[in-house]
């Protein structure tokens, strides 16, 4: 019996049947000079209007781009689309200029998508579900815009790893927007908007991302460029040894203190009030919030502009931020359920608990969601059931944390390393004794060029005492797997971990049918414990070759050697 709720929240990946109808292709007239400013650049870009979009006829565009563009487009998953997206008058030869142009087209189309979604919002005032989907979509598109703009600035400075991480996220947000609309696609404008996003946004960004990946992997000799390959194709990116640890610095100067009750003598009684006074964009400086021991029942949002916020508690279980939002509530999607949700870069937290206590049968209910780049969480606890920890996008490091849940309880499309963490399966809340299938992870990479994946190093995977009691009473019906593929290119590895007896001999479970099974990468290396025996693993799991293990270290996987830890 499968108790995993597979249905509404998790769309099947659109990539199986991707961008259906391409109506017309962007034409651009651009000279290298325009790269001085992408603002000028985007104003030169023209795109299809909404009305043109309804016309069924397809304009066939003969590829006429320069040889260099044709060569660069070989890096993408859709050569025809890529070539035709550059106008015949394009005379761009430098690989980085070709990439910048592709990114600018994508940025310009974000602006069109934003206008369309705004229109949905306007016409949905008495429809809470559609309003939520449109609002979330606006947030995703803003995040996408921010990351693509940042990439346009980073590339000319040679920051290729950042460019790739940020465009990976820019892509993921566009997909998130699209997949949120999928559940409210009952009006024409929603269907049109989805079609625009799939055709002119997601596919264009995928092309730019693929070229960035090729540039990262092969450098600027475009004759070497080819479509993105993954470990599953037997392709390994460079991984020279190295990588020191990352920690939340100790002895940071506290800016504000939060505490409960009258006697506390603190200016701030809620975490959110303290976050609100952090300076916007941070000026590169950390803003340190000490949250004294106590239970804070609130929803906390750290916005995109609240960068370098640090939250220090007085210990796991002592400082507790808790909530109970869940998808059973009207107008609430998984994204919105997070007790604490972070967008701003450089977020750090230490010594506290994040919790979601949504009742039995509540399905998706997130305790902590992060889309913060270069974020460190240390000695933190995450408590929930289904979907406890949503590491949505970008690069994070979790050190010595405790994570509890049951269904897909570590999920998202980020590049995250979990080091020295304790990960515990807890019982389902309803009819726990009947048995179930649990997946520790559900990684959601949906494009092979994305630099995302989950890496577990020196972690313990076990059950809580209560769960192990159930498990031991009838091991046959209580099954726990290391992960399952939420999206086609799901990537998760366990290295040097202790996998306790509760991990099923098969190791990994499918999402639905054979979805993603030939494209995912699930790797194991040097694990111990009763659950680490790989002799009966599913055939689509892998052992990581010894010489490639370094690909998953702090330096290579999340560029942790370049993180600025202290202001």
Ligand X SMILES: *[C@@H]1O[C@H](CO)[C@@H](O)[C@H](O)[C@H]1NC(C)=O
Write out the residues near ligand X by the rule CB under 6 A: 18-19, 22, 78, 80-81, 91, 129, 182, 185, 191, 194, 199, 203, 221, 223-224, 248, 250, 312, 327, 330, 350-351, 379, 460, 462, 465, 468, 496, 498, 500, 526, 528
Nearest to 543 by CA among 517, 528, 524: 524
Q: Which is nearer to ligand X, 79 or 477 (CB)?
A: 79
User: Could you count the other beta carbons within 10 Å of the beta carbon of residue 189?
Assistant: 17
Give the dihedral of Cα atoms 332, 335, 340, 344; nearest 10 deg: -140
Q: How far is CA 201 from CA 38, 90, 142, 146, 386, in A?
A: 17, 20, 13, 15, 31
Q: At closest approach, how far in Å is the CB of 342 from ligand X?
A: 17
Q: Is 408 a catalytic residue?
A: yes
Q: Which is nearer to ligand X, 304 or 309 (CB)?
A: 309
Beta carbons of 198 and 22 less than 8 angstroms apart: no
Q: Which is nearer to ligand X, 105 or 154 (CB)?
A: 105
Q: Which is nearer to ligand X, 4 or 154 (CB)?
A: 4
Q: At closest approach, how far in Å is the CB of 261 from ligand X?
A: 22
Burial (0-12, 13-18, 19+ Cβ within 10 Å), 10? buried
Q: At closest approach, how far in Å is the CB of 15 from ligand X?
A: 9
Q: Which is nearer to ligand X, 77 or 395 (CB)?
A: 77
Q: At closest approach, how far in Å is the CB of 262 from ligand X?
A: 26
Beta carbons of 411 and 445 less than 8 angstroms apart: no
Q: Which is nearer to ligand X, 389 or 499 (CB)?
A: 499
Q: What are phi and psi of 284, to 5 degrees?
A: 80, 0
Distance of CA 520 to the CA centre of its chain: 16
Q: Of the residues 97, 162, 176, 408, which is catalytic?
A: 408
Q: At closest approach, how far in Å is the CB of 333 from ligand X?
A: 7
Strand partners, 418: 398, 456
Q: Is 447 a catalytic residue?
A: no
Token pair, residue 559, equals: 């560029």
Q: Which is nearer to ligand X, 26 or 304 (CB)?
A: 26
Strand partners, 522: 492
Q: Which is nearer to ligand X, 44 or 224 (CB)?
A: 224
Q: At closest approach, how far in Å is the CB of 143 from ligand X?
A: 22
Cα separation, 427 vs 406, whole angstroms: 7
Q: Which is nearer to ligand X, 343 or 349 (CB)?
A: 349
Cα separation, 301 vs 295, whole angstroms: 17
- Cα angle at 175 between 58 and 10, to 5 degrees? 120
Residue with tokens 């460079």: 238
Strand partners, 543: 524
Q: At closest approach, how far in Å is the CB of 318 from ligand X?
A: 9
Cα separation, 516 vs 97, whole angstroms: 34
Cα separation, 22 vs 177, whole angstroms: 19
Q: At closest approach, how far in Å is the CB of 473 from ligand X?
A: 13
Q: What are phi and psi of 67, to 5 degrees?
A: -55, -35
Q: Of the residues 162, 373, 387, 488, which is catalytic?
A: 387
Burial (0-12, 13-18, 19+ Cβ within 10 Å), 374? buried
Q: CB nearest ligand X: which residue? A: 22
Q: Which is nearer to ligand X, 191 or 295 (CB)?
A: 191
Q: At closest approach, how far in Å is the CB of 150 from ligand X?
A: 27
- DSSP per residue over 54-111, as a string? H------------HHHHHHHTTSS-HHHHHHHS-TT----SHHHHHHHHHHHHHHHHH
At a CB cut-off of 8 Å and minimum separation 6, what does 434 contact? 1, 3, 477
Q: At closest approach, how far in Å is the CB of 40 from ligand X?
A: 18
- DSSP per residue over 503-526, as a string? B-TT----SSTTTTTTT-EEEEES
Distance of CA 72 to the CA centre of its chain: 27
Known catalytic residues are 387, 408
């Amino acid at each position: 019996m499968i108790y995993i709720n597979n249905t509404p929240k998790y769309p099947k990946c659109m990539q199986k049947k991707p961008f259906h109808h391409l109506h017309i292709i962007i034409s651009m007239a651009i000279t290298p000079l325009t790269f001085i400013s992408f603002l000028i650049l985007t104003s030169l870009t023209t795109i299809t209007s909404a009305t043109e979009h309804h016309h069924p006829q397809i304009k066939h565009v003969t590829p006429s781009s320069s040889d260099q563009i044709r060569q660069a487009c070989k890096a993408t998953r859709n050569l025809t689309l890529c070539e035709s997206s550059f106008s015949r008058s394009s005379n761009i030869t430098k690989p980085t200029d070709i990439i910048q142009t592709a990114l600018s087209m994508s940025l310009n189309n974000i602006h069109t998508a934003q206008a369309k979604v705004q229109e949905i919002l306007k016409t949905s005032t008495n429809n809470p579900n559609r309003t939520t989907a449109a609002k979330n979509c606006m947030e995703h598109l803003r995040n996408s815009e921010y990351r693509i703009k940042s990439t346009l600035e980073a590339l000319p400075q040679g920051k290729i790893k950042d460019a790739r991480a940020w465009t990976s996220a820019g892509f993921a947000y566009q997909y998130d927007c699209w997949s949120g609309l999928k559940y409210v696609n009952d009006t024409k404008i929603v269907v049109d908007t989805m079609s625009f996003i799939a055709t002119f946004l997601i596919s264009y960004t995928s092309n730019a991302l693929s070229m960035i990946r090729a540039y990262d992997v092969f450098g600027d000799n475009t004759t070497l460029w080819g479509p993105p390959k993954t470990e599953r194709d037997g392709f390994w990116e460079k991984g020279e040894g190295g990588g020191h640890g990352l920690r939340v610095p100790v002895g940071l100067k506290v800016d504000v203190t939060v505490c409960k009750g009258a006697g506390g003598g603190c200016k701030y009684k809620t975490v959110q009030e303290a976050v609100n006074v952090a300076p916007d964009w941070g000026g590169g400086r950390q803003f340190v919030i000490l949250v004294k021991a106590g239970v804070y029942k609130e929803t906390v949002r750290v916005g995109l502009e609240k960068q370098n916020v640090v939250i220090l508690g007085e210990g796991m279980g002592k400082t507790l931020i808790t909530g109970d939002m869940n998808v059973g509530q009207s107008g609430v999607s998984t994204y919105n359920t997070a007790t604490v949700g972070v967008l701003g870069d450089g977020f750090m937290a230490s010594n506290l608990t994040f919790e979601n206590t949504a009742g039995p049968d509540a399905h998706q209910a997130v305790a902590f969601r992060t889309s913060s780049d270069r974020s460190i969480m240390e000695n933190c606890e995450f408590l929930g059931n289904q979907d406890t920890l949503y590491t949505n996008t970008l690069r994070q490091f979790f050190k010595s944390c405790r994570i509890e849940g049951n269904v897909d309880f570590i999920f998202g499309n980020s590049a995250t390393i979990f080091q020295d963490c304790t990960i515990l399966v807890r019982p389902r809340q309803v009819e726990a004794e009947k048995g179930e299938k649990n997946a520790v992870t559900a990684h959601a990479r949906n494009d092979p060029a994305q630099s995302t994946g989950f890496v577990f190093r020196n972690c313990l995977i076990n059950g809580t005492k209560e769960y192990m009691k159930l498990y031991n009473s009838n091991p046959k019906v209580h099954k726990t797997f290391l992960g399952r593929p939420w999206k086609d290119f799901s990537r998760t590895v366990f290295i040097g971990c202790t996998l306790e007896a509760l991990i099923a001999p098969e190791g990994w479970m499918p999402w639905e049918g054979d979805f993603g099974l030939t494209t995912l990468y699930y790797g194991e290396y040097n694990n111990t414990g009763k659950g680490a025996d790989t002799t009966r693993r599913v055939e689509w799991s892998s052992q990581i070759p010894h010489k490639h293990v370094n690909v998953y270290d702090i330096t290579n996987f999340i560029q942790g050697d370049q993180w600025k830890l202290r202001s």
